Structure 1
Amino acid sequence: MILLTRKAEFSASHYYWNDAWSEEENVRKFGKCANRNGHGHNYTLEVTVSGEIDAATGFVVDLKHLKEVLEREVVSVYDHRHLNLEVPEFKAAIPTTENIAIAVWKRLEGKISGASLHRVRVYELPDLFADYYGEL
Structure 2
Amino acid sequence: MANTEKLYKAYLTRRTTFSAAHRLHSKDLTDDENRRIYGKCNHPNGHGHNYVVEVMLCGPVDPISGMVVNMTDLKDWIEVAVMKSMDHKNLDKDVEFFHNRPSTTENVAIFIWNSLRQIMKEPELLYEVKIYETEKNIVTFRG
Task: Give TM class, smaller chain.
Answer: over 0.9
Residues 1:130 and 2:139 aligned together: yes
Find runs of 4+ consecutive structure 1 residues off by over 3 angstroms. Answer: none
Structure 2 match to 1:118: 127
Inter-partner Cα distance in structure 2 for 1:89 and 1:21: 18
Q: 2:50 aligns with which of 42, 54, 66?
A: 42
Deviation per residue, 1:3-29 (Å, 9 max, x gap): 111111100011111223222221122
Structure 1 match to 2:61: 53
Structure 2 match to 1:11: 19
SS in 2 for 1:125: coil
Structure 2 match to 1:108: 116
Inter-partner Cα distance in structure 2 for 1:45 and 1:20: 28
- Check whether the contact 1:12–1:41 (CA below 8 A) recurs between aligned residues: yes
CA RMSD of aligned residues (A): 1.3
Residues 1:25 and 2:33 aligned together: yes
AA paired with 2:126?
L
What is the deviation of 1:75?
A: 1.0
Identity %: 37
AA paired with 2:106?
E
Structure 1 match to 2:83: 75
What is the deviation of 1:110?
A: 4.7
Structure 1 unaligned spans of 5+: none
- Check whether the contact 1:61–1:113 (CA below 8 A) recurs between aligned residues: no
SS in 2 for 1:70: helix
SS in 2 for 1:109: helix
13-22 vs 81-90, which moves further: 13-22
- Check whether the contact 2:128–2:142 (CA below 8 A) recurs between aligned residues: yes
Structure 2 unaligned spans of 5+: 1-8
What is the deviation of 1:80?
A: 0.3
Residues 1:96 and 2:116 aligned together: no
Inter-partner Cα distance in structure 1 for 2:105 and 2:98: 12
What is the deviation of 1:83?
A: 0.4
Residues 1:64 and 2:72 aligned together: yes
